[in-house]
Structure 1
Amino acid sequence: MEKTKRGGVPLYLWMLLGFAVGLGGGLYVNLNDLVVIPWVMELIQAVGQIFLRLLFMLVIPLLFAALAVGVAEMGDLKSLGRVGFKTLVFTIMVSAIAVGIGLVMVNYFQPGAGVDPALAAQLLEDGRDGAAAIVGNAPTSIEAGQFFLDMIPSNVITAAADNQILPVMVFALIFGIGMVMAKSKATDALQESLQGLLEVMMKLINAVIKLAPIAIAALMFNLAAVFGWDLLIRLGAYAGVAVGAMAIHMFIVYPLLVMIFGGMNPLKFARGVREPFVVAFSTASSNATLPVAIKAAEEQLKLPKRISRFVLTVGATANQNGTALFEGVTVLFLAQFFGIDLNLQQQLVVMLVCILGGIGTAGVPAGSLPVVALILVMVGVPPEGIGLILGVDRFLDMCRTTLNVTGDLVAATVVSRGEKDIPAEVSGPLPVAPPTS
């Protein structure tokens, strides 16, 4: 997340303040059995709804531009076509592993379970009404037998109008591949235009996120007034499961990938990535860490310069294992919190959307929020539940950014195996990536 400031204070501190104010007010109402004046409660709920509507308003053009450009960039250099393919395969494979770990952890530890079913059902019903108002005709369930057919939109404009996220993402993926196949001056101009659209959406997302402290206070007040102390207990369990899943991916999966597919000693790799690891965790910004990561890849890991620069730059916008894992854990946690039992097919759909979302939302500060909200609607969970996790999102953002950056370096190590460097005079300047979270 960007280190955005309001009045000299970092935005995440304002968000934390909003979380505390909303939580404190809601707990006070809950513990004292107070009745809030109806029009006041309606106003508080409207504030949260406005924030969610703004996110939904931006999500379709944001995802389409980010995913199409991300895929197009992977095959942008013909001389690195093989490297681009290897990078794409690695990204999909490792993101699937990351999301799989997250889903297994949530299913095993059940961090969202144990909430009073009557209260959950009450808020769920209210939330579904609000969700329907926000997303219109978006499906609130996933019907068996129609999954693969529904992935291919017969009319992408209609799919976008109905906020059907998966068909739109599949179309964006195919569109990006088409831009690579039809490489020309015209497609270069089209890619540049989509990059411009992406930058506009990123700027607007940043503007909307500045409203987050107020929205968090409103959403948390509503949730805390209903659930009381159960909210804090479930939230702590959620954060613990999310961090645990990230730790497994970081300290077990990554070393195995480096050793088996990268041909490098994991201890040597760990020593080489210490600096970008620390920078990523402290700044929670992949963009700020990119130059440090490139330096570590070239000087510490001794990877071919042209290969590592390409993979790390693409990875900063497309290889977001931590983001994909976070989205999967969050969706299942909130489903458990509201008492919704997701079957295997629904969880596989969540997994697929999270894998694509790891590519499609990279480069956007807090860009996972719209994706999480739309997935929640797909499985019948009120998107207002997002307010539950925003208070601890800063710490989780630091953790998943560290996982993202380390994953980029793992990808560079694996893809570089068997590749030779290009002479220094041909290698050119360092590529510049757009801002990422």
Structure 2
Amino acid sequence: MDQVEKRGLPLHVLMLIGFAVGLTGGLIVNATIGGDHYWVQQVTQNVTGPIGQIFLRLLFMLVLPLLFSALVVGVAEMGDLKVLGRAGIKSLLFTVLVSTIAVVIGLVMVNLFRPGAGVDPTVAAQLLEQGKAGAASIVENAKSGTSGTNFFVELIPSNVFKAAADNDILPVMVFALLFGVGVVMVRNSATDHMLKSLEGLFEVMMKLIGLVIKLAPYAIACLMFNLSALFGLDLLVRLAAFVGVAVGAMAIHMFVVYPLLVWTMGGMSPIKFFSSIREAMVVSFSTASSNASLPVSLRVAEQELGLPRKIARFVLTVGATANQNGTALFEGVTVLFLAQFFGVDLTLTQQFVVMLICILGGVGTAGVPGGSLPVVAMILGIVGVPVEGIGLILGVDRFLDMCRTTLNVTGDLVVATVVSRGEEDTGYDEGDVRPSVG
């Protein structure tokens, strides 16, 4: 693989190669000697298994500081609420609404079509036990007995450092949101310096995640070998069903929810809207990066949609990191699919926890290719699903990443359109200060 990488092949191609190598090798083993053969067990337990676990542990190591810094900085950028007033409040509330709708659509689709169900329970239980053993040392399983008002009480950490040490991610995310709100309320030179430090932490985490993701081709090959050696051809059927459900949920959100919101709340024809933003959609699909699509989104918002300059800049710059509803949808679908695949029966409370983390994680997910993978890995560990299962979706993640990024960027423009309604006469001009990008 080193020789291939030196030729300059993109990382997603290398990941696809690793996926194909691991899948093919595992299928051959499954069809010829079976996954329970002595030497196969030795290889999966002592070679391919540890390599995959190292990759997953690296993701877990980085995800908490990444989410905390991204959430605080993302909320702190709402300091522009002091300038934009009701426009900023509308942006925040509408972003939460759209992300919630996206996650609900994804969860309903997975529960309705159950793409991961039907796997041999014996084989699934075998890998489930292996996965729990690996995940238990990384994250604690979600509390299964919490319900009703106790659930909301436990969202508030009595000791945020203990919650972080226990990898109780949801209370930590709530604290990060409150911390960001506090920064907005205080906002002075001292907090500005602190925000610079958190932005630096975020950039360091992003750099490290970029380095870790470069190991993905090798980790994918190992993880897929383990999975396909156990599940055989049934793996391909489930994977195709997963892609179908994920893309179907994204299509519903894109072509049903977005047009309704643009028409009813934005006061614009959906046909005009989509024809005006087609360039931004193409760029986002091809780059799989919300950040890379931001310049094009700003241009089409101002020149094609005719939105007020300051409103468009505020909503789109913050939305590039804080309005990732396509990513939130993908994370929810992926977690429930893998839970079904491994026979983990998630209660309604646990699914609600997944939904909340996906919504909040959409704010803390980096707007770069593969930025959602650490969050997915963390959620899997929280709800007791084998984190090794992430290898199932890594091989097809590039295509799904392109789809969900298109949904993210389109969602940013939907929010900008809705927020701009009634804000045309605010008197913004060329000299207004442009909001900073976190």
- TM-score class normalised by the smaller sequence: over 0.9
Is it true that 1:161 corresponds to 2:132 in the alignment? no
Q: For 2:428 and 2:346, how far apart are their aligned partners in 1? A: 53
Is it true that 1:413 corresponds to 2:417 in the alignment? yes
| Among candidates 178, 183, 190, match of residue 186 of structure 1 | 190
Q: For 1:414 and 1:126, how far apart are their aligned partners in 2? A: 48
Instruction: State the Cα distance separating 1:38 from its structure 2 match.
Output: 4.4
Cα separation, partners in 2 of 1:101 and 1:423, compared to 1, 3 Å = closer
Instruction: State the Cα distance separating 1:271 from its structure 2 match.
Output: 1.1
Is it true that 1:235 corresponds to 2:239 in the alignment? yes
Q: For 2:343 and 2:22, how far apart are their aligned partners in 1? A: 23
Aligned runs of 1:30-429 on 2, under 5 Å?
A: 30-34=30-34, 35=37, 36-41=39-44, 42-76=46-80, 78-135=82-139, 138-145=140-147, 146-419=150-423, 420-428=425-433
Conserved? CA contact 1:68–1:176, under 8 Å: yes
Cα separation, partners in 2 of 1:122 and 1:416, compared to 1, 3 Å = same
SS of residue in 2 equivalent to 1:262: coil
Q: Normalising by structure 1, report the TM-score.
A: 0.95
Conserved? CA contact 1:281–1:398, under 8 Å: yes
SS of residue in 2 equivalent to 1:76: helix
Segments of structure 1 that go 5 or more residues without pairing to the other structure are none
Q: For 1:140 and 1:412, how far apart are their aligned partners in 2? A: 36
Conserved? CA contact 1:284–1:401, under 8 Å: yes
Instruction: State the Cα distance separating 1:364 from its structure 2 match.
Output: 4.9
Q: For 2:240 and 2:332, how far apart are their aligned partners in 1? A: 17
SS of residue in 2 equivalent to 1:425: coil
Conserved? CA contact 2:365–2:371, under 8 Å: yes
Instruction: State the Cα distance separating 1:428 from its structure 2 match.
Output: 4.5
363-372 or 322-331, which moves further after superposition? 363-372
Q: What CA deviation, in whole Å up to 9, does each residue of 1:24-68 have, x standing for no partner?
A: 010011001243354422211000000000001111111100011
Q: For 2:143 and 2:7, how far apart are their aligned partners in 1? A: 43
Instruction: State the Cα distance separating 1:363 from its structure 2 match.
Output: 3.1
Write the letter of the residue equivalent to 1:315: G
68-77 or 399-408, which moves further after superposition? 68-77
Conserved? CA contact 1:22–1:221, under 8 Å: yes
Q: For 2:118 and 2:374, how far apart are their aligned partners in 1? A: 27
Cα separation, partners in 2 of 1:179 and 1:6, compared to 1, 3 Å = farther
Conserved? CA contact 1:317–1:359, under 8 Å: yes
Q: For 1:7 and 1:78, how far apart are their aligned partners in 2? A: 51
Conserved? CA contact 1:202–1:365, under 8 Å: no
Conserved? CA contact 1:307–1:421, under 8 Å: no
SS of residue in 2 equivalent to 1:426: coil
Conserved? CA contact 1:166–1:353, under 8 Å: yes
Instruction: State the Cα distance separating 1:289 from its structure 2 match.
Output: 1.1
Q: What CA deviation, in whole Å up to 9, does each residue of 1:277-315 have, x standing for no partner?
A: 111111111122111111101111100001001100000
90-99 or 417-426, which moves further after superposition? 417-426
Is it true that 1:9 corresponds to 2:14 in the alignment? no
Write the letter of the residue equivalent to 2:327: T
Q: For 1:259 and 1:37, how far apart are their aligned partners in 2? A: 57
Q: For 2:145 and 2:264, how far apart are their aligned partners in 1? A: 39
Instruction: State the Cα distance separating 1:248 from its structure 2 match.
Output: 0.2
Q: For 1:202 and 1:165, how far apart are their aligned partners in 2? A: 19
Instruction: State the Cα distance separating 1:158 from its structure 2 match.
Output: 0.8
Q: Identical aligned pairs, as a percentage?
A: 69
Conserved? CA contact 1:110–1:336, under 8 Å: yes
Cα separation, partners in 2 of 1:21 and 1:283, compared to 1, 3 Å = same
Cα separation, partners in 2 of 1:65 and 1:281, compared to 1, 3 Å = same
Cα separation, partners in 2 of 1:37 and 1:407, compared to 1, 3 Å = closer
Write the letter of the residue equivalent to 2:116: G
Instruction: State the Cα distance separating 1:268 from its structure 2 match.
Output: 0.9
Write the letter of the residue equivalent to 1:425: E
Q: Normalising by structure 2, report the TM-score.
A: 0.95
Q: For 2:369 and 2:358, how far apart are their aligned partners in 1? A: 17
Instruction: State the Cα distance separating 1:365 from its structure 2 match.
Output: 4.0
Conserved? CA contact 1:75–1:85, under 8 Å: no
Q: For 1:295 and 1:82, how far apart are their aligned partners in 2? A: 24
Q: For 2:40 and 2:345, how far apart are their aligned partners in 1? A: 34
Q: For 2:291 and 2:40, how far apart are their aligned partners in 1? A: 46
Q: For 1:335 and 1:122, how far apart are their aligned partners in 2? A: 14
Conserved? CA contact 2:138–2:381, under 8 Å: no
